[in-house]
Structure 1
Amino acid sequence: MAEKTKSALEKISDKHADVAGASIIAVKNPFGHKEYAAYRRENSFKLEIKSRLEFLLKHSTSLDDFQDKAKALNLAIDFSGKYAKYKLLDQEQKRNTRDSTLSKKGRYSLEQIRDHLAKNEIVHPLEKSKLSMTSCKQKKRRTLKRGSRLNRGKSSTRQTQVSIYKSNTG
């Protein structure tokens, strides 16, 4: 109701300003669709948490091993409450992310993780897991760089969106 009152008062004020010859202040949304999409891509931790969890599920054999490797990958895991909660320690994530947010099927819940780890047979030492995760990240970066070289001269929408977002916030 308050929003309707505010917009009604703005319309009345705009009419009086128009009659008096004053300029009407146009209210512009600071976040358009493209800017908001770029912002969400920059600040979405779910994809990074999921990729680290998938890596841990493949390379861990027990719950203790899973938690040790998670610490090495800068992923805080909390199984103390009703839900499993995850948080990236190497990025500016303020709040924990619940397992139900990451997967609607409960793939990252404590029970599902235990079931999945019981099926794993291959043992990877902690240092080897850390190295293979960093090599995966390096391959991803090289692929992204290679893709940007191919798009030279072409305006990438992602690059444009990020530059628009940075210019609006900076």
Structure 2
Amino acid sequence: MSDTPISNDIKEIIISEKNIEQRCRELAAQIEADYENDGITPLVVGLLKGSVPFMSELIKYFHHAIEIDFISVSSYEGTESSGDVKIDKDLDLSSRNKNVLIVEDIVDTGRTLKAVKQLFYNKGANEVRIVSLLDKPDRRKVDIEADYVGFKVPDAFVVGYGLDYNQKYRNLPYIGILKEEIYE
């Protein structure tokens, strides 16, 4: 184990744990109101691994029934999205005739999310909505937007609250910008 805390690798905290918790309450209320108006129970699907802290916080504030499941896809090589999406772990539940809410940590290039959204439609989902903790619109390569967004972030290497660099920093309770010397 390293002697220095991972927080030493953070250049700047841009979103605090308190702000994330508050935004999750607001997002949950908005999402629930939308699904309640439709009279449906959503299948809430977390994209592993990055969505886990966000999804855990978000679903605490739902007051109506939901189903949850996880899917794991990969499309990154180092720090860049390849756009070639591979399913590493599929759902345990069926998404056929369901209204799916994809939970994502960040919408970056949009390539992975667009492919996953289409995958659910191919599997027979009635509707697919997306909630993302973060949105980085300056990096978008394909036309896709989340239906619900926690925070917009600048085009910087952000980590924490599920977001990683080489599988590290996911456990930070906030969103921070990683020091350049860590990944260059």
TM-score, reference length from structure 2:
0.26
Structure with greater helix percent: 1
Say which one has the larger Rg. 1
TM-score, reference length from structure 1:
0.27
